[in-house]
Structure 1
């Protein structure tokens, strides 16, 4: 088993050191073009860097990497709400003005843009496009393409693009190759976000409805082009030998495969079977028990397949069953706490993982951004104080998830607490069924995507536990297209919910937890939370001028989210488990974010 560990500072010290690479008191000089931009201080790499620190600059080009994916796709437009696009389409074929280093919390370096400049207060940002930048068809990438892309995505694209765009007061061309964005809101992150929007070719979309799901292949400027595809079955990308940016320092050691292919299968178990049969060459395993017991097949024994564990220092994020508070049954925090109490994590973790995986204790756990144990203190307490009367119990005083029993499905202590909370909220058991004062039963639907076999097992155990409370939820399994459609429109009671979170949270948090998502479709606020405290904490995060204030605001947000009791959290892993062909290699220097995002397949290579 191939395992690499970090040799740098500990997690908290590492984040602090990276965020403080340059003192906050010495910001980048105002109105001077720079090679990169960091959320705080200066970029870690100098203007003349030759490659990113976590790549192998001598990695050979050639070969292929083949992935298996559950589900399918019916669209080739990943930039809109409609349809389901294949994973990798936007990643491999389309570029942004700036590229992100995954060895720093939030730093961008020039990609399509050769330079970026902004004032000290970051009330505006200006990018200068590289004159040599080209789309895959050989046509130049122009400022007209850039401006059209930003306006189109910001007004008719997926909702994830709209929050930042709504804060742009003016977009103007300032030179043959330069564009400036002026903001109407105090938000220091906007200068970076404006460098991270996909740039599309305007001419391709003339006379077409950008919002319509389509199988037309978008023309991008990235290192790969779509070679072949069959909706719902596979998509293959081939490396563009004429890629304009192949010699950029930012790209050195990246984009090494001649082919990247994704094959789609019915469910996760079939994906694993395809890998063991040699039909795919890389398999990411999320289940620790499967990793220990099902990866002993002949190819592993012979050395044809390697098991690699890749550590990371990113937050745990949140994964589990989200409760839709738009429904009356989940509007009361006491009911949501009862639902959490009924979920015996220790037993389920033992069943699924042999008890090896730690529980997600908060949204930003496993990082310096996570809330601390016990009462809020210092700046965190100050930020939360104005909202004290409207916050659920535990937000300020301290909140921790209940502990169950690993040796039995029903934890009686937690069960008694759940019953008491449900009674307080007006729900009692009558003839074996939980009902309210009007006699209406406690009913809801758990929505699952087809092919998620591990999730189905977890839910089956949970449903059996809920019967002890007189609750009998419906479990509905739908295909990936229906699942996206229903979750986009919040048509569920509970659903399996995963949100990966970074070391540099910012404006995207409005999309995750903002009040607009209560009614507007397509947000990531599946729980339907409407918490002024959460939006106030996000505002404090994006306006922070020091790392200390930023960390305090994020810890405060973490308390609001966790004590809101919106999600029944499961487990996370401090390593990523990837089984892969012995011909596939990755650099020994592991970046801060570990294997995600921007690590596989970007930095990997093929070698006999």
Structure 2
């Protein structure tokens, strides 16, 4: 599922949609479908019909107060679906979706704009029934036409969703409040679930006229404050610098069970910064209220100031958000370019990365090396394949590397002078196999004499503390690796166009991988600008295993297929795996209250927290 940091991006399970499938009507009664209040991809739904609220919220949380947040970069558009420009952070506050997830379950969703969903036994379609009370901010009802318009434009204008919803061939109005999505394949259990996730936009607003009297155009960026059906509205902004959202008193869904205890702040504002260190200083000085730390050295040594010492700023390390998230953070060579299309070259680049030395000298030993595309979850492969996983790999044996059956994946281990030298020797040997040689202190292509030289493209100067030592290590074996940090807009445009030699990417995976795998590793996505196949993977074995993940018949089969996919991705050395922490480290000014127990799979900030000022009133 999409999303991490941006992305971006996001699970699937036992009998994918098990609870719902148990209630499916017989074919003879297809004209009288059963309606389900929620969907689960991992076992049965926790919450029964007409539940009062999610267990982890405070249903009596006071409304009001403000929260000031920050973001790195800039923004130049409020168009939430267009794959162009820098989209303002926080726009999900303005728009509702058909369904809303629960943070104490893995991959479940309950009706938000939709009061129910139904589908036939072969899952060849899915029908959503809109709530009669659902309204836009201008008071007009949310209609099937709005849903169809939103879906069609999302697929048309955003390559990420074009791949994600690739097998949804059409949407049509099938009742006064019903919209039916038709699929071009059957038994893809995830499709009804992920259709609940895209933002629903008001067709009449986008096809109407703006304040200047000119027709609006959803195909273009815009800085006109957009209208939605969600709990907040855009109250004010300064282009590229600040944006402030205000809670709507007239929000149609404020008393809905999935919203009780949510949306508690009267306003949520964001200030943009061009530099992460300057952004931290704004937090430290009290100009923003919340900080998620991503720098190990600062977490270890950078909080020795009065507001922390006297308790005005609280610090916590929480495992909740990462309990259901698999992480692959990596330096990604672009295989669309020579010489990164040679696996031996990519493997050599991994041998030159000395994680253990960096962890000791830069990270205060706070990180763990990533060794799986689904790291830190039950979906990560390990050891040698066996059981169902082995059976799946045998089915595609002619399409996958033979070592997946004989050799467990392991990252090179450094950390000592001797280990570092041994790894660099191995890197040189691999490069020589790939047609390179050392001439003096330069690595050159043997046939042409062309030096091995490339650029590492970064989006933030913070990442240079890793990229620069890596470049120095590469220099030891004659490779000229240059580090270039660009502004967020340029980085976005270049990565959308795959205009880089190597870049730094974080993929976040849910515990229910499915259709998003096509966009990340599928051959078709390798050719589509704007996809998340940053490495340029186009491999028949990977494609075959993605299909097995998508069409897994139950949880057991899904886990086995995902481990098989993970193992093959690793065996090809597509990326240089980096590192991650198993806890989220946060700091915040002591102006908030929250439920006594946070949800199992999230921290709920700012959604279910509330203001102490509002509580006092």
TM-score scaled by structure 1? 0.92
Deviation at 1:390, TM superposition (A): 4.2
Aligned counterpart in structure 1 of residue 591 of structure 2, from 573, 583, 597: 583
Q: Which residue of 2 aligns with 1:163?
A: 163
Structure 2 residue runs without a partner (length 5+)? 1-10, 26-32, 208-214
What is the CA–CA distance in structure 2 between the aligned matches of 1:166 and 1:412, rounded to whole Å? 47
What is the CA–CA distance in structure 2 between the aligned matches of 1:499 and 1:547, rounded to whole Å? 22
**C-alpha contact 1:24 1:545 (8 A) present in aligned 2:** no
Matches within 5 A, 1:363-512: 363-373=373-383, 375-392=384-401, 394-407=403-416, 411-437=420-446, 438-449=448-459, 452-512=460-520
**Which is worse superposed, 386-395 or 265-274?**
386-395
Q: Which residue of 1 aligns with 2:178?
A: 178
Aligned counterpart in structure 1 of residue 73 of structure 2, from 52, 71, 96: 71
Q: Secondary structure at the match of 1:447?
A: strand
Matches within 5 A, 1:105-504: 105-154=106-155, 156-186=156-186, 187-206=188-207, 207-312=215-320, 313-373=323-383, 375-392=384-401, 394-407=403-416, 411-437=420-446, 438-449=448-459, 452-504=460-512
Q: Which residue of 1 aligns with 2:6?
A: none
**C-alpha contact 1:585 1:606 (8 A) present in aligned 2:** yes
Q: Which residue of 2 aligns with 1:87?
A: 89
Deviation at 1:388, TM superposition (A): 3.3
**C-alpha contact 1:82 1:211 (8 A) present in aligned 2:** no
**C-alpha contact 2:332 2:575 (8 A) present in aligned 1:** yes
**Which is worse superposed, 402-411 or 549-558?**
402-411
Q: Secondary structure at the match of 1:175?
A: coil
**C-alpha contact 1:121 1:188 (8 A) present in aligned 2:** no
**C-alpha contact 2:457 2:503 (8 A) present in aligned 1:** yes
**C-alpha contact 2:330 2:576 (8 A) present in aligned 1:** yes
Q: Secondary structure at the match of 1:476?
A: strand
Q: Secondary structure at the match of 1:330?
A: coil
Deviation at 1:21, TM superposition (A): 11
**C-alpha contact 2:173 2:179 (8 A) present in aligned 1:** yes
Deviation at 1:178, TM superposition (A): 0.9
What is the CA–CA distance in structure 1 between the aligned matches of 2:14 and 2:105, rounded to whole Å? 8
What is the CA–CA distance in structure 2 between the aligned matches of 1:366 and 1:253, rounded to whole Å? 31
Deviation at 1:48, TM superposition (A): 2.2
What is the CA–CA distance in structure 2 between the aligned matches of 1:21 and 1:513, rounded to whole Å? 22
Q: 1:602 to 1:152 in 2, by over 3 A?
A: same
Deviation at 1:576, TM superposition (A): 0.7
Q: Secondary structure at the match of 1:37?
A: strand
Q: Give the CA RMSD over aligned residues.
A: 2.1
Q: 1:279 to 1:354 in 2, by over 3 A?
A: same
**C-alpha contact 2:164 2:519 (8 A) present in aligned 1:** no
Q: Which residue of 2 aligns with 1:58?
A: 60
Deviation at 1:582, TM superposition (A): 1.0
Structure 1 residue runs without a partner (length 5+)? 1-14
Deviation at 1:409, TM superposition (A): 10
What is the CA–CA distance in structure 2 between the aligned matches of 1:409 and 1:161, rounded to whole Å? 48
Q: Which residue of 2 aligns with 1:39?
A: 41
Q: 1:408 to 1:255 in 2, by over 3 A?
A: farther
Q: Which residue of 2 aligns with 1:7?
A: none
Q: 1:227 to 1:355 in 2, by over 3 A?
A: same
The one-character-per-residue Cα deviations of 1:534-554 (angstroms, maximum 9, x if unpaired) are 222221122122110011111
The one-character-per-residue Cα deviations of 1:485-534 (angstroms, maximum 9, x if unpaired) are 00000010111111111111111111111112222100000100102222
Q: Where in structure 1 do 4 or more consecutive aligned residues deviate above 6 Å?
A: 20-26
Deviation at 1:341, TM superposition (A): 0.6
Q: 1:566 to 1:590 in 2, by over 3 A?
A: farther
What is the CA–CA distance in structure 2 between the aligned matches of 1:219 and 1:499, rounded to whole Å? 31
**C-alpha contact 1:40 1:546 (8 A) present in aligned 2:** no
What is the CA–CA distance in structure 1 between the aligned matches of 2:491 and 2:180, rounded to whole Å? 39
**Which is worse superposed, 58-67 or 403-412?**
403-412
How many residues were matched structurally? 585
What is the CA–CA distance in structure 1 between the aligned matches of 2:501 and 2:206, rounded to whole Å? 38
TM-score scaled by structure 2? 0.91
Q: 1:356 to 1:165 in 2, by over 3 A?
A: closer
Q: Secondary structure at the match of 2:370?
A: coil
What is the CA–CA distance in structure 1 between the aligned matches of 2:166 and 2:475, rounded to whole Å? 46
Q: 1:142 to 1:585 in 2, by over 3 A?
A: same
**C-alpha contact 2:399 2:540 (8 A) present in aligned 1:** no
Q: Secondary structure at the match of 1:81?
A: coil
**C-alpha contact 2:329 2:577 (8 A) present in aligned 1:** yes
Q: 1:127 to 1:408 in 2, by over 3 A?
A: same
Q: Secondary structure at the match of 1:66?
A: strand
**C-alpha contact 1:388 1:396 (8 A) present in aligned 2:** no
The one-character-per-residue Cα deviations of 1:31-90 (angstroms, maximum 9, x if unpaired) are 20111111254321111211112222222211111112111111111311110112211x
Q: Which residue of 1 aligns with 2:97?
A: 96
What is the CA–CA distance in structure 2 between the aligned matches of 1:574 and 1:53, rounded to whole Å? 25
What is the CA–CA distance in structure 2 between the aligned matches of 1:62 and 1:290, rounded to whole Å? 32
